Structure 1
Amino acid sequence: MFFDKLTDRVTISSMNHFQAYFMDDGDRFYDFAEGNLIRMRALNKKVNCDYLMGMTIDGKKIYIYPAEKFAELLKARYS
């Protein structure tokens, strides 16, 4: 998997807001703790399937779940 350097200020701002909302106080991680481990798969599923993100497409603001967009992009890439 390849990652590009983020230069889009809207995306960076959205990610920073999400981090502040979901992760900064640390209490949210207790929902995903099991013993001394954090269940990252469950955490990733929660983040990608339960939280909407905004995107502008053709000048219109739409809200989608990241997992749905990722699946759409994968299908388009490998079809």
Structure 2
Amino acid sequence: MIISVEDSLENIYQELKNLGYEVYKISQNIPSDIYIYSETNTPLIKLNSIIQAKDQGSFILNCDNMNLQDIIFSIHHKTYSPLF
């Protein structure tokens, strides 16, 4: 699984890398399975023009108001949270 993280989210990038994930910065333009970004820093409409989704699709994760455990849960389950 390849993960790209918005460049400004350095702490998330480093923590995922330290946990052994294959992580790149979005600016490296690596087609990724998961893109992690902050809507506060980069609106989704802008992100859409800079990511390179894989043929089978990519999961785009807005990490605002999420801690590292929430992010890891979302990565593995490809979901944000239960609906109810």
- TM-score norm. by structure 2 comes to 0.28
Kindly indicate whether structure 1 or structure 2 has the higher relative contact order, using CA contacts under 8 Å at least 6 residues apart: 2
> Is the helix fraction higher in 1 or 2?
1
Larger Rg belongs to: 1
